[in-house]
Structure 1
Amino acid sequence: MEALLRDTILDGTLAAGDMLPTEEELTRRHGVSRTVVRQAMRSLETQGLIQRIAGKGTFVRDSKADPFSSWSINSTEDLASYGRNTKLTILERLEVPAPPDVAEALELAPGTLVSEIRSVRSSKAGPFAYQRNYALLDIGRKVAAQKQIKSMLLAIQQYGNVKPLHMLQAISAVGAAEDVARILELEVGAPVLQFEWQLISVEGTRITFSRTRYRSDRYRHVTKLLPGGG
């Protein structure tokens, strides 16, 4: 199924901007299960060949355009450039009891009140990242009081007066939950990249825990590895 749809797109039978048949139509036309169709569509979306727009349908991407925004983030200078070339929109500023995983990450007692800032980052292609950032309450309040924020990490350092020692980051692939799918214009369950990171201060304090989901067809994370001496 995936190969058939890919060939149809690559040979020009379906041109850029054309809408693909619905899952129901593809299931009936090709005599396959809806699960097979969904797997094929998700794979094509990850490859950047199609774009699913919630409430409208699935469309063929322009093959001449680069579907990705690539970012090499290896320093605070890279983060500053990332902030200048994309738009961060704050959706909610909350104070909530720390969920169990957040409490563990920040080494807090379960239910301790923390600051939560929810935001979406967009490029010219549209929204590509949905972030939920949790921080120690006093630092989070200082950040949340700012009218404009271009980078959560830089804002925590600047307004929270935090000197970072290092960051811990974990990357995984997950299915988009309902809120993520709505904000990133995806279908529920569509594959997204999940980045989880913690900021540790020079005093050894765990300052913030952040979980960001990225649309894999609009974002590519690039890391520069330098040769070591080991």
Structure 2
Amino acid sequence: MARSNKKAIETPPLAKPHAIDAVSPVPLHTQIREALRRGILDGTYPPHSQMPSESQMMARFGVSRITIRQALGDLQKEGLIFKVMGKGSFVAKPKAFQSLSRLQGFGEAMAPSGYETYALLLSAREVPASAVVAQRLALEAGSPVFEIQRLRYLNREPISVDVSYFPIDIGQRLTQEDLATRDIFVILENDYGHNLTHADVQIEAISAETSLGRHLDVAEGSPLLRIERLTYAGERPIDFEFLYYRGDAFQYRLRIDRS
């Protein structure tokens, strides 16, 4: 993606991360990468600002140029920085990602990377199951289900609208929980004793309609990821969701092995 038309923010001073431990079993470039990642995620290095030069980092961390380049290369692979020939490294707008190799709630997936997450409850109500919802939850069409809509935030910016459907007894209980800061998966397992085993997931690209665009702070027609996820406890379908993620700020990743 062309970035030459963006005016870079003035280079911030090199952050003061935790000291690098030369005797640690963790490689030096990994320690530096993590220190720089913290600076990017906490805003020390704002989006589109220029990172300190390799020479500055060499002096600060007391390591070789190749070690610095290894750390920067890892950050570039993650999409946290981009390089401009002859000018250096710049901070990209971080695009969060979630691996599809594990069944996790949004907060569970984001916490290890240092992201702050919370949810705004948009609505919680009993509704008649549409044909699609009824089929997914193994109910008769028109049966009562509980719909919960949430606006999810990542580092205080809107990232997704989650529309979830539950059997009526589970959904009614969930309205009594702290849905702002707790993942529903964690509540279902730890509080309600449901053993979540697997999920069926479908992903497609769509354009934002007016309501979604307003919630996600994007223009109508902007690209979104639409995820349809049906989660099971044992063999019972327990949670059916439509998840609408901002295409410019989120991605799913999946490792595929060839046997």
Regarding TM over 0.5, the answer is: yes
Q: CA separation in 2, counterparts of 1:69 and 1:137?
A: 32
Q: CA deviation at 1:116?
A: 0.9
Which position in structure 1 is the counterpart of 2:16?
none
Normalised TM-score (structure 2)? 0.60
Q: Which moved more, 1:107-116 or 1:83-92?
A: 83-92
| Alignment partner of 1:188 is 2:220 | yes
- 1:15 equivalent to 2:30? Answer no
Of 79, 87, 93 in structure 1, the residue corresponding to residue 118 of structure 2 is: 87
Given that residues 201 and 227 in structure 2 are in contact (C-alpha distance below 8 angstroms), is that contact kept between their aligned partners in structure 1?
yes
Unaligned runs of 5+ in 2: 10-46, 49-81, 83-89
Whole-angstrom CA distance in 2 between matches of 1:120 and 1:188: 17
- Displacement of 1:83 in angstroms is 5.5
Root-mean-square deviation (CA), in Å? 2.6
TM-score normalized with structure 1 length: 0.67
- Name the count of aligned residue pairs: 176
Q: Give the alignment partner of residue 110 of structure 1, picking from 141, 159, 177.
A: 141
> Does residue 170 of the first structure (1) align with residue 202 of the second (2)?
yes
How far off is 1:135 after superposition? 0.6
1:1-230 map, 5 Å: 9-10=3-4, 12=5, 14-15=6-7, 62=48, 64-67=90-93, 68-75=95-102, 81-82=108-109, 84=111, 85=115, 86-124=117-155, 126-148=157-179, 149-202=181-234, 204-225=235-256, 227=257, 229=259
Give a deviation string over 1:100-124, Cα, whole Å, max 9, x none. 2111211211111111111111112
Percent identity between matched residues is 21
Give the conservation status (yes or no) of the 8 Å contact 2:199–2:229: yes
Structure 1 residues 17-69: Cα deviation after superposition (integer angstroms, max 9, x where no partner): 9xxxxxxxxxxxxxxxxxxxxxxxxxxxxxxxxxxxxxxxxxxx737333212
Quick one: which amino acid aligns to residue 248 of structure 2? D
Structure 1's 78 and 197: CA in aligned 2 closer, same or farther, altered over 3 A?
closer
